[in-house]
Amino acid sequence: MDIVEFDDKLKKSLEDFKTYDEAIAFLRRKLDSISAELVRLSVERTVVIRNVGKVKKKFAVPVYAKAREQEILKNIDNLVAKENESLKRLGLSFDADIVKKFLKDLMDYSKKVEEKQ
């Protein structure tokens, strides 16, 4: 489902609510679900990173890979640009720097995980 379909589905769901409390509770449940998914994916990423660290140790490769980090951040720019094409139809845009900051924090944490292997 693309973002416009997601928005349409969300708006349709909101039509059923008669009170602010019902509507806001529904939206907060959606946000909580998305937050839970972000946590789950971050934990899953950590498990993969642990294995990256093991492979790097086995082959005596340094933990920090500047080129890979730059590649990840460039990919984020491309992914956000693609998503922004859809968001334009909703009169919205998303700032890639938000995702980059989040990922930089994850990458810093990842280096620590890798170093422990």
pLDDT in tens, 47-81: 999 999 999 999 999 999 999 999 999 999 999 99
Share of the chain above pLDDT 90, in %: 97
Domains of the chain: 3-115 (1.20.59.10)
Residues in CB range of 81: below 8 A, 6 or more apart: 96
User: What's the pLDDT at 21?
Assistant: 97
Distances (CA, A) of 57 to 1, 33, 95, 106: 40, 36, 36, 20
Mean pLDDT within 32-56: 96
Tokens of 47: 């498990």
Residues in CB range of 52: below 8 A, 6 or more apart: 110, 114
Using pLDDT thresholds of 50, 70 and 90, give the confidence band for residue 3: very high
Instruction: Give the whole-angstrom CA distance, residue 94 versus residue 88.
Output: 10
Examine the pLDDT at 1 and tell me if it is beyond 90: no
